Chain A
Amino acid sequence: MTTDVIEQDSHDEHHDDSHEHGKMTGIKRWLYTTNHKDIGTLYLWFAFIMFLTGGAMAMVIRAELFQPGLQLVEPDFFNQLTTVHGLIMVFGAIMPAFTGFANWMLPMMLGAPDMALPRMNNWSFWILPFAFAILLGSFFMESGAPNFGWTFYAPLSTTYSNGSTAFFVFAVHIMGISSIMGAINIVVTIMNMRAPGMTYMKMPLFVWTFFITAYLLIAVMPVLAGVVTMLLTDTYFGTSFFDAAGGGDPVMFQHIFWFFGHPEVYIMILPAFGIVSTIIPAFSRKRLFGYSSMVYATSSIALLSFIVWAHHMFTTGMPLFGELFFMYCTMLIAVPTGVKVFNWVATMWRGSLTFETPMLFSIAFVILFTIGGFSGLMLAMTPVDFQYHDTYFVVAHFHYVLVTGSLFSIYAGAYYWLPKWTGHMYNDTLSKWHFWCSLISVNLLFFPMHFLGLAGMPRRIPDYALQFADFNKWVSIGGFAFGLSQLIFLAVVIKCIRGGEKAPAKPWDGAIGLEWTVASPAPYHTFSTPPPQSDIDNADQHEH
């Protein structure tokens, strides 16, 4: 049956090329492209370049912290590095990487010919490089780059700004517009472009997580745009939103920021849930355990994310009632998250497991993300948060959920779909080296940070007390090793693009999904005619 579809598709491709626009050549292909696969590729490469850029900054940070005292960089430049590292990794690496996955995979998983709004798709990618050129360009200006932390708390970013606020605000505006356009495109594609017969509850969970994430983006990115606009007018046009002298309130900044900021962290993890929920069943040779409960759990997490923001602000002097409310709401999120973790474990239970690289990254994701989730629960407890607040414990927590969580899922997804994207199998040995080096070094990098934080080492400081020296040395060694390990991935991808064992249409025997019914590499145009109902039914993730 698979062969039939391939023949049909290559026929369609031929048909497309013969009397309408196909690929342009050279740089124009990438500048003018409205093809979802091209744009997905652009997003993924952009995200990886940003990841290496932000990673290089982390290397300098870890080099400075290798031993106590000030060795390499000035404290002000250190603050610029921590700030821009955070901004790049959040808005430049993780989010665009997920948008890349959405662009590549959503139309193929839904049996649609392309994204719903291809021209807007082109815009939403091509404004991104300008945003990051502005942000990174501020390093070379007199003021220096933003140095107030990626959370840009007022008055650090207003009264005490080093002059970089305007560039920062414009960069964030452009990133926001790009994200909103990307999200609108995803929602419209999922609502209007599903192949006939593909009902909502037949969509792969991957699609569901991106659907919910896109709604979160549409709801909170405008709030981010609003808060940076207030910051801009406070700094340059004499308004007093966050300035107590004029009747404003700096604590209100934190409320508005975290009203955006907490849903934002789920924007960076829900797609990861979708990727892992695709891969674990494939290599367990079972259907996903509890598909419907996964959909409802994802929705619950998204809804709860709007009423927990003040758990980032326990130390601002909230009344007891507020602290209890936000503490219990936060802990409530552990329930749907637990549903997901148990479902992944139940999917693997008594499955015929094999440990290809995508599966290795997925299993590592489940374990290490859960560790990050547990440290999150610890932070959710108001009384103990007073000790953990602004220490390395927080740094350890969010790197466990973002690096071994989001990033590991991105690697898992990249290895899983590389054969579909490039038409070649990746180098298995190298990919295993990448996994094991990353796994060991990432834990050496982030696990000791828990102890540093519990012992009281503050975050965002270029120097520390002598008793923290040994752990920091190990953390830095882990950091350098993790950074270098990522170059193995670059090598694997380049090798895979240039050649390698030819990939069949479906290289993973346990995989399900419409994307495996088309040839590898996926033809430039797929599903110009909708897939047959039998293919859609075969791709259904429900247990039978």
Chain B
Amino acid sequence: MPNGKIVTLRQMQSGQSGKVVQIQGGFGLVNRLSALGIRPGKRITKVSSMLMRGPVTIQLGNTQVALGFGMANKIIVELD
């Protein structure tokens, strides 16, 4: 059951899943992420993140995508 908790992708714990609700970025970022399949409504699972503002890896369907720290901070997720 979704408990409605809204966090950024960066704040998610590894292994948590959720639904993307918003991308807080300009047209360029939204465009780039949607091309990678990351867009509002999409279910994602965080796989891991690196120490010291390193990249965040997420699972999207059958692929894994690694995103820079900055991008991860702009993706808003509603936790399951």
B partners with A? no
A residues within 8 Å of B by Cβ? none
B residues within 8 Å of A by Cβ? none
